[in-house]
Amino acid sequence: MTQARTPADGGNGSGHGPAVPVFFLSDSTGISAETMGNALLLQFPHRRFDRISIPFITSEEEAARVVEQIDAAVTDQVMPLAFTTAASNEVRAVLHTSRVPMVDFFDMHLNKVEEILGDEGMRKPARLHGVGDVKRYNNRMAAIEFTIEHDDGASIRSLDRADTILLAPSRCGKTPTSMYLALQHSLHVANYPLVDEDLDDNQLPRPVRDLDVPLFGLMTTAERLSRVRGERRANSTYASLEQCRWELRQAQRLYDTHGVTVIDSSTRSVEEMSAIIVQQLRRHSLDSDADGSVRTRNTSPHRTTTTGQSGPGLRRSHGRTS
């Protein structure tokens, strides 16, 4: 059992008053507790939070030690808050002896699901972010390996096996978005940089030009792109505002010419962009199935060989899904 702490403001801005200690407790990785807990905390941008994650609480003895720790954070000035996704009834029972108010996501929702299904859940930890379903886990690892190999145009081998390909000028967010799609959605993602040659000729990069793979083009603002590039190569032509404006202008022209779906990375997080991409791919997959398409790989629900019709959310040009 280890614990991790994030900064007191937790990315919430300036805030006021003493920071509220917030504990994320789990008998597994704690990712779910953090995700759901932070989704609620974001509704209080004026408050400051000192976030502490305590995963792998696997016994009643460890749970008792955690209760001592979080109870020690109670003061006259502030009452801590705890979120838990512990699945073990024994561990949860001990955690609930704490003086700290406990938001128990597992207890709040599993009973309702059991009632609806008329069945009893396993109530075992390490099911969601552990190995769990071996086939799904292996598919996720294969997606990550593919995405790493095909980062920033490093490899063109088996590009036709990609679920999607992201295009953009350098430093527009291709790599983090690709990795998130692979890690969270088991998608085989390639990303390819748009270089001056592509932008001058208004042509898709040659390796992706004739592929029947959905394409997405990322955009941002020239000011943001210049700032990000300046952190890597300050006072360079590469980072100059003029160069960034030219590349983004040419990239938009290329996307328009070839019907590439555009996502603005300047106003969206990696998670938001990934959600948009997954939604578009699913919509396209459903439309392709309705057209009588045949799936090419069982490891992903999104990759299909299409018959030429365009789905409502994805534009197509030159016989290419984009």
- What pLDDT digit, counting tens, does each position of 178-188 carry? 999 999 899 99
Question: CA 44, CA 13: separation in Å to the nearest integer?
Answer: 10
Residue 322: is its pLDDT beyond 70?
no
Give the chain's radius of gyration (CA, Å).
Answer: 24
Global pTM? 0.67
Residue 11: is its pLDDT beyond 90?
no
Question: CA 289, CA 298: separation in Å to the nearest integer?
Answer: 14
Residue 287: is its pLDDT beyond 90?
no
What pLDDT, in 10s, does the model give residues 44-92? 999 999 999 999 999 999 999 999 999 999 999 999 999 999 989 999 9
What pLDDT, in 10s, does the model give residues 109-142? 888 888 888 888 877 765 555 555 677 888 989 9
- Per-residue confidence at 317, pLDDT binned at 50, 70, 90? very low
More confident residue, 126 or 98: 98
Taking Cα atoms as reference points, which of 79, 246, 305 lies closest to residue 237?
A: 246
pLDDT of residue 113: 86
pLDDT of residue 131: 52
Mean pLDDT of 98-112: 90
Question: CA 26, CA 51: separation in Å to the nearest integer?
Answer: 14
Give the position of tokens 């210049």. Answer: 226
Question: CA 146, CA 182: separation in Å to the nearest integer?
Answer: 9
Backbone angles phi, psi at 299, to 5 degrees: -75, -15
> Would strands 164-168 and 189-193 be described as parallel, antiparallel, or unpaired?
parallel
Residue 14: is its pLDDT beyond 60?
no
Q: Report CA-CA distances (Å) from 125 to 36, 55, 57, 186.
A: 17, 11, 10, 22
Q: Report CA-CA distances (Å) from 154 to 146, 158, 233, 320.
A: 11, 12, 21, 22
Residue 233: is its pLDDT beyond 90?
yes
> What is the percent of the chain with per-residue pLDDT over 90, rounded to a whole number?
67
More confident residue, 111 or 105: 105
pLDDT of residue 161: 95
pLDDT of residue 114: 85
Q: What is the mean pLDDT of the chain?
A: 84
Query: What are the start-end ranges of the H helices in the chain?
Result: 31-41, 60-71, 89-95, 105-117, 134-149, 174-185, 196-201, 222-232, 241-258, 270-290
Question: CA 212, CA 215: separation in Å to the nearest integer?
Answer: 9
Contacts of 219 (CB under 8 A, 6+ apart): 168, 172, 248, 251, 252, 255, 262, 263, 264, 265, 266
pLDDT of residue 125: 66
Contacts of 148 (CB under 8 A, 6+ apart): 179
What type of residue sits at position 79? M
pLDDT of residue 15: 57
pLDDT of residue 135: 79
- Per-residue confidence at 19, pLDDT binned at 50, 70, 90? very high
Mean pLDDT of 143-161: 95
